[in-house]
Structure 1
Amino acid sequence: MQVGLVFDVWVGHGPLELLRAAVERARALTCARPATGRTHDDADEILGTFATDSALGFDPFPLLRALNRAGARTVMIGQVAGILHGSVELTGDLDLLWDGDPSQAEALSAAFDAAGCHLLDDDGVPIALGPEAFLQPKVQFESPQASGDCCTPALPWGALPVRDFLGRALTASGPDGLEVCYLRREDLVLMRRAVGRPKDMRRADELERLRDR
């Protein structure tokens, strides 16, 4: 498998159109790919989750719509956010950030339940899906369409001002009424470089090139 599998990007397409194009491209590239048993937790530091089974049938839209309907404000981080900025690399997971306010936990629980998700703790142990699960700094989620992490500022982010990132996140809207939030390009670059894996550095460089167009 090559690094940097891409989809076509057309000038003038909005963020959600870019994500829909990425989902379709991923489906075409993985429809005949046999399962290997590798999940998004098994992703390597170069190819990322697109090389795992989490990319098979990957579609973040059902969960994003459920979150939107429930009124649960989450912000997309990771490569899905990169795609919304025009990144051409595909992914197999959806990573989310929210502010950790317990008053949102019930809405989050309802949305993840509606999308058919089940939850795991940071060690990969299954946990009950309910508002109390979201009081942890991070939970992992899996569903037939998407898997990933749902994180809060309580994680050890180092020097990254993630609450500031949340406060200045961008919003994209679709014609069907879907609204999603995602990190600003410069904040996503900071997060990428802080993690520092080969795939993160490569994607940070790409985002900076897109900024300079």
Structure 2
Amino acid sequence: MIDEPLERLRTAARRTRELARDRTAIGLGPEDADDVLGTINTDGALGFDPFPLLEAFHRNGVRAVVIGQVAGIMHGSAELTGDLDLLWDGAPAHAPALAAAFDSVGARLTDESGTLVAPRPDALLRPKVPFTSPGASGDCCTPALPWGTLPVRELLDRAITAVDPGGLEVHYVCRRDLIRMRRALGRPKDLRRADELDSLPATGGR
């Protein structure tokens, strides 16, 4: 049984790559995912590997918190995904390190209209920045994004950290908060995944 969060994620990413191995890109990004299956059927599943970007965050001292289904997998969800969604505090003082991390892996950032923007600190201060990097695409969000009644800054404060034997640290939202986020979104895939997380045994991921 796999019970270490980062090993769960490595195993899931490998399974995703194997599942998508014989598919060809058809131009579907994370924003094209349907509300039932999620991003597993998008181009993001091709070669999915979030670790190059997560390692870049670690090297640059970035506290970007993993949310979405990658966090779900780290908590034990069996569902696969093809995207990596992130939450950071949006503080201008932290933007240079975040920009440096994205730039170090050759990530491509876009604005709200889908126009490419340079990975500069000011480009990351918008509420949500879509990104594409080698291995993983997704959204990099801040508390300024409309989150409804969710206490997003508290979610950041309660995030937990997984550390692998090599010293890599990955921050991810705690299970209780991820369930709240899922239920607030309310899409079929979110409600299904919230129920799954609710059914899992309690772990160190709270």
TM-score by length of 1: 0.92
**Counterparts of 2:202 and 2:122, CA distance in 1:** 43
**Counterparts of 1:187 and 1:211, CA distance in 2:** 16
AA partner of residue 191 (structure 1): M
**Counterparts of 1:64 and 1:121, CA distance in 2:** 22
Q: Aligned-pair distance for 1:25?
A: 0.7
AA partner of residue 62 (structure 2): A
1:82 equivalent among 69, 72, 77: 72
TM-score by length of 2: 0.96
AA partner of residue 103 (structure 2): D
Matches within 5 A, 1:118-157: 118-157=108-147
| 8 Å CA contact 2:159, 2:173 repeated in 1 | yes
**Counterparts of 2:153 and 2:201, CA distance in 1:** 23
- SS of match in other structure, 2:103: helix
Matches within 5 A, 1:90-129: 90-129=80-119
**Counterparts of 2:15 and 2:90, CA distance in 1:** 33
Please name the residue that 1:40 is paired with.
30
**Counterparts of 2:201 and 2:124, CA distance in 1:** 34
1:55 equivalent in alignment to 2:40: no
Please name the residue that 1:190 is paired with.
180
- SS of match in other structure, 2:156: helix
Any unmatched runs of 5+ in structure 1? Answer: 1-9
Q: Aligned-pair distance for 1:15?
A: 0.2
- SS of match in other structure, 2:138: strand
| 8 Å CA contact 2:60, 2:100 repeated in 1 | yes
1:209 equivalent in alignment to 2:192: no
Please name the residue that 1:173 is paired with.
163
- CA RMSD in angstroms comes to 1.2
Q: Aligned-pair distance for 1:212?
A: 6.1
- SS of match in other structure, 1:33: coil
- SS of match in other structure, 1:142: strand
CA 76–121 in structure 1, closer or farther in 2 if over 3 Å, else same: same
**Counterparts of 1:164 and 1:50, CA distance in 2:** 29
**Counterparts of 2:90 and 2:47, CA distance in 1:** 29
Q: Aligned-pair distance for 1:201?
A: 0.4
**Counterparts of 2:66 and 2:113, CA distance in 1:** 22
The count of corresponding residues between Structure 1 and Structure 2 is 203
**Counterparts of 1:212 and 1:70, CA distance in 2:** 32
After superposition, what is the alpha-carbon deviation per residue over 1:72-92, rounded to whole angstroms, capped at 9, x for unaligned? Answer: 101000000000000000000
Q: What percentage of aligned pairs have identical amino acids?
A: 62
Please name the residue that 2:63 is paired with.
73
After superposition, what is the alpha-carbon deviation per residue over 1:86-119, rounded to whole angstroms, capped at 9, x for unaligned? Answer: 0000000000000111111000000001111010
1:18 equivalent in alignment to 2:5: no
Q: Aligned-pair distance for 1:121?
A: 1.4
Which of structure 1's runs of 4+ aligned residues deviate more than 6 A?
A: none
Q: Aligned-pair distance for 1:67?
A: 0.4
